[in-house]
């Protein structure tokens, strides 16, 4: 496994993902859990944010403290399902800008099809967190990161809640330097490109469309 791949083994994340997997979990709870898991994962994914010295006056004395350095952040969910993770990350970094990349997988070829892209103007100067709960074949993640690279981004991290080994391999081969964070690593893809055991179609479960 590429050293840039982090698979979480935290019991809180594992427990919440187990509830997501249950087909009886409804959309309301599913959305809440996706958001919570994104926040827990984001906490770790942002562990290396740079700090700088800032002077403050406490009620007792003047002192120098550490605060996040001017480094700017952007969150880019892959539509639709990535939207479910946005608020969890914004809870941690409320001033982050949010871009959107719209992709859907062609059901026959499994190739990602683009239908929307709107990014902050200065995205190339930001640390970009790309969000998608599912990393299956990896086609959508690679396509999204290709867009970002074309826009000059060179500081990108990718976060997914459930990943298939095939997707991790494809993404880390395409972009070995991009850190990949996965809530868990599942067994495989099935013949329709769904993650096994997975949780089904994340977009449909978040938005209740099936």
- Asked if 13 is part of the footprint of ligand PRP (rule: CB under 6 A), the reply reads no
Site string for ligand PRP, 80-109 (x = CB under 6 A): xx---------------------xxx----
Q: To the nearest whole angstrom, how small is the minimum distance from the Cβ of residue 151 to ligand URA?
A: 25
CA 168/CA 135 separation, integer angstroms: 7
Q: To the nearest whole angstrom, how small is the minimum distance from the Cβ of residue 128 to ligand URA?
A: 21
Mark whether 204 is an active-site residue. Answer: yes
**Judged by CB under 6 A, how many residues of this single chain contact ligand PRP?**
23
- Asked if 6 is part of the footprint of ligand PRP (rule: CB under 6 A), the reply reads no
β-strand partners of 5 = 180
Residue nearer to ligand PRP on the CB measure, 124 or 204: 204
Mark whether 31 is an active-site residue. Answer: no
- Asked if 140 is part of the footprint of ligand PRP (rule: CB under 6 A), the reply reads yes
43 contact, one of ligand URA, ligand PRP, none, CB 5-8 Å limit per kind: none
Query: What tokens appear for 135 in the block?
Result: 């990393």
**Going by DSSP bridges, is the β-strand pair 156-163/126-131 parallel, antiparallel, or unpaired?**
parallel
Residue nearer to ligand URA on the CB measure, 123 or 189: 189
Query: What tokens appear for 48 in the block?
Result: 């290396």
Mark whether 21 is an active-site residue. Answer: no
CA 167/CA 32 separation, integer angstroms: 25
198 contact, one of ligand URA, ligand PRP, none, CB 5-8 Å limit per kind: ligand URA
194 contact, one of ligand PRP, ligand URA, none, CB 5-8 Å limit per kind: ligand URA
Q: To the nearest whole angstrom, how small is the minimum distance from the Cβ of residue 81 to ligand PRP?
A: 3
- Catalytic residue, from 9, 109, 177, 209: name it: 109
Catalytic residues: 105, 109, 201, 204
* Interacting residues with ligand PRP (CB under 6 A): 78-81, 103-105, 110, 112, 132, 134-141, 167, 193, 201-203
């Amino acid at each position: 496994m590429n050293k840039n791949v982090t698979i979480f083994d935290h019991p809180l994340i594992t427990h919440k993902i187990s509830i997501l997997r249950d087909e009886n979990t409804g959309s309301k709870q599913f959305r809440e859990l996706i958001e919570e898991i994104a926040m827990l994962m984001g906490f770790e994914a942002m562990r290396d944010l740079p700090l700088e010295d800032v002077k403050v006056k406490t009620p007792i004395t003047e002192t120098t403290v550490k605060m996040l350095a001017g480094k700017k952040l952007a969150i880019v969910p892959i539509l639709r399902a990535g939207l479910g993770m946005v608020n969890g990350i914004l809870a941690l970094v409320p001033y982050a800008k949010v871009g959107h990349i719209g992709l859907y997988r062609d059901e026959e070829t499994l190739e990602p099809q683009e239908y929307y892209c709107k990014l902050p103007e200065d995205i190339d100067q930001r640390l970009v967190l790309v969000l998608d709960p599912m990393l299956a074949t990896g086609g959508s993640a690679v396509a999204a990161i290709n867009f970002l690279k074309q826009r000059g981004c060179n500081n990108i991290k990718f976060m997914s809640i459930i990943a298939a080994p095939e997707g991790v391999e494809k993404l880390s081969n395409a972009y070995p330097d991009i850190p990949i964070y996965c809530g868990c690593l599942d067994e495989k893809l099935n013949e329709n490109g769904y993650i096994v055991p997975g949780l089904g179609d994340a977009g449909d479960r978040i938005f209740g469309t099936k």
